[in-house]
Amino acid sequence: MHSTAKYGYEQRFTMQHLGTDIMAPLGTPVVAVENGIAWATIDPKGGNVVYLEGDSGVRYYYAHLASWTPLLVVTADPKVEVSAGDELGYVGNTGNAATTATHLHFQMRRGSLVIDPFDDLIKSDPHRRGTRGASVIPAAALLLAILWFASSSRSN
């Protein structure tokens, strides 16, 4: 797989697309946005995915990963305690994103309520790379910081 994806994201939160796609090059690290319990699985739409049940009660869904970090696949217990900033996997285009540019599909839920992450991503993004289209808690800032740190270190 080869990717020419640039960093950025677009608001596309609809009944058919409950999350924000964060464009990033293949293999960019994806991190836990808060402390909690994480587990890896495969599903038809998301491909290689990670769920994170945050200590705040928010459940995060990271989809289309190229692969998971060894932390999530080399343990006897499928659910692993993680801290904010721990690597969970790497950006890819698995599942129903196989024909798209590499990206992370990022989704949040509190109970049955799906939260649009776009506004909080924009607030925490120093580069303002988002495009408003058709609400993540501040922890999303950590995810963006890691993605943009990786972006700047790759360009050196």
pLDDT in tens, 121-131: 666 665 555 55
Q: Which helix (H) or strand (E) holds 53?
A: strand 47-54
Q: How far apart are CA 125 and CA 119, in angstroms?
A: 10
pLDDT of residue 83: 93
- Read off φ and ψ for residue 31, nearest 5 degrees: -120, 160
pLDDT of residue 1: 37
Q: How far apart are CA 30 and CA 35, in angstroms?
A: 14
pLDDT of residue 120: 64
pLDDT in tens, 28-72: 999 898 899 999 999 999 999 999 999 999 999 999 999 999 989
DSSP string, 57-109: S-EEEEEEEEEE-HHHHSSSSSSEEE-TT-EEEEEB--GGGTTS--EEEEEEE
52 and 60 in contact (C-beta within 8 Å)? Answer: yes
pLDDT of residue 13: 47
Q: Which helix (H) or strand (E) holds 110?
A: strand 103-110
pLDDT in tens, 10-31: 555 444 556 788 888 899 999 8
pLDDT of residue 51: 95
pLDDT of residue 76: 65
> Is pLDDT of 154 > 60?
no
Q: Provide the token pair at 116.
A: 């649009």
Across the chain, mean pLDDT equals 76
CA distances from 104 to 34, 75, 156 (A): 17, 24, 23
Q: Model pTM?
A: 0.73
